[in-house]
Structure 1
């Protein structure tokens, strides 16, 4: 793997894993994503041992790629269900590749 530095596993503990969640939303659905809404999502996530780290969105905000930590893929799915969030796919990403 010339040119790639492996930074190690994404989690510091044996109980949490890192995942990328792909979601598709209707046009305008993310317009009301304010601090109170984010706080509610984070509160619901905590019930499942899940933590939302960050999200990336395409230009029209109809597709997101979210980085989460949690104990299992099922916990990620259950947290999404509790938050009424769509899930297109979940991919575990146990290795971080640094660009440096």
Structure 2
């Protein structure tokens, strides 16, 4: 299943632990997307999330249902390791 990087911009600072994570998981399960992990910017107004999904549209649908932004959804071709090796996402 393809991997995607999602950038989200929020109007206010996020303070973990986040409320509603269980509800997000139910929505993601229903849309057949899997949240792998997220990074939070130092100002706590952006997240950079790694997701696994069949399509960018599925990620956007889950975000819309959850009421969270999906400002950029980028499909990834793979990972570049510190050795320089490219590892595909298949």
Mark the runs of 5 or more structure 1 residues left unpaired by the alignment: 1-15
**1:15-35 deviations in Å (ceiling 9; x for gaps):** x2100000100123x22643x
Q: 1:27 aligned to 4, 8, 12, which one? A: 12
Q: Distance in 2 between matches of 1:42 and 1:98?
A: 29
Mark the runs of 5 or more structure 2 residues left unpaired by the alignment: 84-90
- TM-score, with structure 1 as normaliser: 0.76
Q: Which has the higher contact order (CA 8 A, sep 6+)?
A: 1
> In the alignment, what sits opposite 1:70?
53
Higher alpha-carbon Rg: 1
Count residues in correspondence: 83
Runs of 4+ residues deviating >6 angstroms: none
Q: Look up the SS of the partner of 1:96 in the other structure.
A: strand
